[in-house]
Structure 1
């Protein structure tokens, strides 16, 4: 019997090994980009997500699930099961012009599944390194790839610009990537190029095709081929949606004329196009006789970007911050083969858990050379067992400027940007980013024209403690009333920090210039 698991980022699909033991489950993993916690129907979105809502209602909603605040760290942890302090991705994302990627000695989920006899395919966004061919998908365990190697671009032209980066220059682009003409000042160096690939080859014929439609179509083609194959399928679909720039066909935007905020209205259209695509993928699984043996999982890669239409209400903060709005993700598991429906799991789960969970799902184990930080959560998802983890390291970023005064000696330095969850308690130190609660925009509010909060130099507070089970919106700071718990969690951070590798965030390399490579972003070493 053949099984298909579909993953949506915010999660990975996990299946029990079937009793006959003759076939391994197919796995389809779908990830949405910058999809806000508020922005799905069952969390109160003001726009429709009928396919996502139905799939979630028919499966298991993961309501205590965490990702990372930004793209590359989440995707790297999903693929390798390794915390970013162990891969050098503590500080930021991988920019197109930077010569680094996820370490080559950390194998990926695709490597593992290929070793189990799977046919492995990636569609959509990569964002795990491109400066050497060895960092691109066909060299990281995938048999095929169709999509883009960078982290964000135009939805129709597949064109993006980047500028000089190093760890001493603050990322100034709120959206994360620049479009032509968005130079911050005359000192900036800008490199621009196209980024759409079929395997390693540039694609030049899709200008004008909306990427959400394109990646849905390519995924359906792979599903159709899988229906006649005896080899199990791993399909990793990482939508560009709903990352900026704000672009969607008019037909998806028009139903939301009641949303007065322009960017929120476009964002609603972007979500609707993605929701339709997921519905079409579900239909393709049914039409090709795979649905009854399918598990479908959906996950985001980080919190919504309020400056690009997203929203995380009632959570505090948003993309790039260490508040819950930056890291608590939308995610669910669905499909007839799951064997459970109408369930809500409030057990603790982290994006790094997917790799060991998949290993259990296919009836295998990671060998001793694999050292994931993630935990096997398949019993939790498939049988309702307790979570296999009791804590999460959200991050330790020693390269973000220190904030405030050191309050405790002989333990973790509370001036460093970091966060950890242990049981019900979450400790945040240093500068976690914009600390506002941002409600869904109203007619008189235009969040795209507002600026991210600039911290008052006089504000030296650098320590917060919350019981996030009772207080998920992080309203009641317990750091002054529970000093023992603060010291306990600082010690946990110190233990993690002792295992960290140095951050990797090299200056941009001018040899990245797409003009030197046929106008396309691609390897230059």
Structure 2
């Protein structure tokens, strides 16, 4: 449970609530940003991060929906049955309605609440749509990914030939039919700026800006691709262009905040939702990528910047998880986390961010997914199975230790340069189902210590078992043909 003891006020002698701008990139890797050594040009992100606090021990979830769920609720996904995969466009599921969301709480505290960009938290019924989950304004799309120009899903990049096709772009509850040919990064930045310029400043603002960038498909305007004409690899060149386009868009949004005079009373947070994909971005030097519980999938780029921080212009090694934003943002908004309807897994980290106190968090449950199992592992007999079934796909970070179990993809490392992607494959035995790493000393997860420290293994397995007792079963309903946009005017949206 997050601590509710507040040590320092947000601002001395002021009742003005800060504006909150939360920018979420999609599939943005650890090595995709300039200040982590990337060749990709991100001058706006680099500047904003240098003025604030760079979060260098910050964790997210390995795929889209779980990160967004935990941001919106401050609760681990095992506690509402979303521990398996993402929320899909053709299954009747979503973030459960009895989960209280961040915009709902901020709205109760007097905020105007806006979302521009990707939702991906369910839409099979009207009750699951953004406007019913706490947002006053919604401009964006509902599913997990689509074409950047046509705003249709899917296009030729889709591997699933049975996937449904349709338009996925809405303004409030109405389809947007006149933006075919407008690149989504520019479109969403333009709409965010429009909201900022028209916001009534007698009310605080919560602007949630989950960009489509840099999710697949790999598409970018020619003028940005031209910036990387010296790169030899086409995929790398276009991906870098996508990142730079997003960086410029974020610069334009922050300029609008400055122009309106809102910047001095704004807290801006930047985060990725998970690590980069194998084929595009880079998580170097971390192991693995999106959809894996290796560090490359779950250690995320993130920073906070604001003139309200007491100590900016620094790096923080404090252990932080995406679920911590819920109680933290409730605190700076003046809303009490104790009024949330269910126990939180996130912690109030404002003092850690603002003045550099130690993080109240000492461990992170990355996930426990009993549906993610393969036959090769289902019959494994481990000396630890009386504590926790090590064939179950799971991972936990506690202190400097990280334990992984189950059918982990044996992913390696990818270094990317302008000449292309260079892979180093892992050499783990194919039947391994248990790993222990000291992440402080081995952030690349190269040396498995499970045989050397059985007591640590037992302790972390016991922690997994304890968490598992609080989990509810994964909810993974079958595909529903009624979701087909062809039955709903060629538009993705509620079907029940």
Q: TM-score range by the shorter chain?
A: over 0.9
Q: Is the counterpart of residue 53 in structure 1 residue 46 in structure 2? A: yes
Q: How far 1:320 moved relative to its partner?
A: 0.4
Q: Is the counterpart of residue 216 in structure 1 residue 189 in structure 2? A: yes
1:267 aligned counterpart, secondary structure: helix
Deviations 1:360-386 (A, max 9, x none): 112331216232111111110011011
Deviations 1:308-331 (A, max 9, x none): x21100000000001000000000
TM normalised by structure 1 equals 0.89
Separation (CA, whole Å) in 2 of partners of 1:400 and 1:60: 36
Q: Is the counterpart of residue 520 in structure 1 residue 454 in structure 2? A: no
Q: 5+ unaligned residues in a row in structure 2: which ranges?
A: 1-7
Q: How far 1:183 moved relative to its partner?
A: 5.3
Q: Is the counterpart of residue 381 in structure 1 residue 353 in structure 2? A: yes
1:105 aligned counterpart, secondary structure: coil
Aligned-CA RMSD value: 1.9
Name 2:295's counterpart in structure 1. 324
- Is contact 1:17–1:362 with CA below 8 Å preserved after alignment? no
Q: Per the alignment, do residues 180 and 255 of structure 1 end up closer, same or farther by CA in structure 2, a change over 3 Å counting?
A: closer
Separation (CA, whole Å) in 1 of partners of 2:151 and 2:94: 21
1:37 aligned counterpart, secondary structure: coil
Number of aligned pairs? 484
> Given the alignment, which residue of 339, 342, 351 partners 2:322?
351
TM normalised by structure 2 equals 0.94
Q: Per the alignment, do residues 274 and 368 of structure 1 end up closer, same or farther by CA in structure 2, a change over 3 Å counting?
A: closer
- Is contact 2:25–2:214 with CA below 8 Å preserved after alignment? yes
Q: 5+ unaligned residues in a row in structure 1: which ranges?
A: 1-14, 162-178
> Given the alignment, which residue of 154, 163, 171 partners 1:198?
171
- Is contact 2:19–2:262 with CA below 8 Å preserved after alignment? no
1:375 aligned counterpart, secondary structure: coil
Q: How far 1:340 moved relative to its partner?
A: 2.4
Name 2:446's counterpart in structure 1. 475
Q: How far 1:47 moved relative to its partner?
A: 1.4
> Given the alignment, which residue of 389, 397, 407 partners 1:421?
397
Q: How far 1:229 moved relative to its partner?
A: 2.6
Separation (CA, whole Å) in 2 of partners of 1:472 and 1:183: 33
Separation (CA, whole Å) in 2 of partners of 1:189 and 1:427: 37
- Is contact 2:45–2:250 with CA below 8 Å preserved after alignment? yes
Deviations 1:274-331 (A, max 9, x none): 0001111111111111122222211000000121x21100000000001000000000
1:97-496 to structure 2, matched below 5 A, reads: 97-161=90-154, 179-180=155-156, 182=158, 184=160, 189-226=162-199, 228-307=200-279, 309-366=280-337, 367=339, 369-402=341-374, 404=377, 405-407=380-382, 408-441=384-417, 443=419, 445=421, 459-496=430-467
Q: How far 1:150 moved relative to its partner?
A: 0.5
User: Which stretches of structure 1, 4 residues or longer, exceed 6 Å deviation after superposition?
Assistant: 452-456
2:110 aligned counterpart, secondary structure: coil
Separation (CA, whole Å) in 2 of partners of 1:444 and 1:44: 16
Separation (CA, whole Å) in 1 of partners of 2:404 and 2:333: 37
- Is contact 1:321–1:434 with CA below 8 Å preserved after alignment? no
> Given the alignment, which residue of 477, 481, 486 partners 1:510?
481
Separation (CA, whole Å) in 1 of partners of 2:351 and 2:420: 47
Deviations 1:114-149 (A, max 9, x none): 010111110000000011111110000000100001
Separation (CA, whole Å) in 1 of partners of 2:461 and 2:245: 44
Separation (CA, whole Å) in 1 of partners of 2:48 and 2:68: 23
1:374 aligned counterpart, secondary structure: coil
Q: Is the counterpart of residue 64 in structure 1 residue 36 in structure 2? A: no
Deviations 1:437-492 (A, max 9, x none): 11115636588xxxx98999x72101110110111111111101001000000000
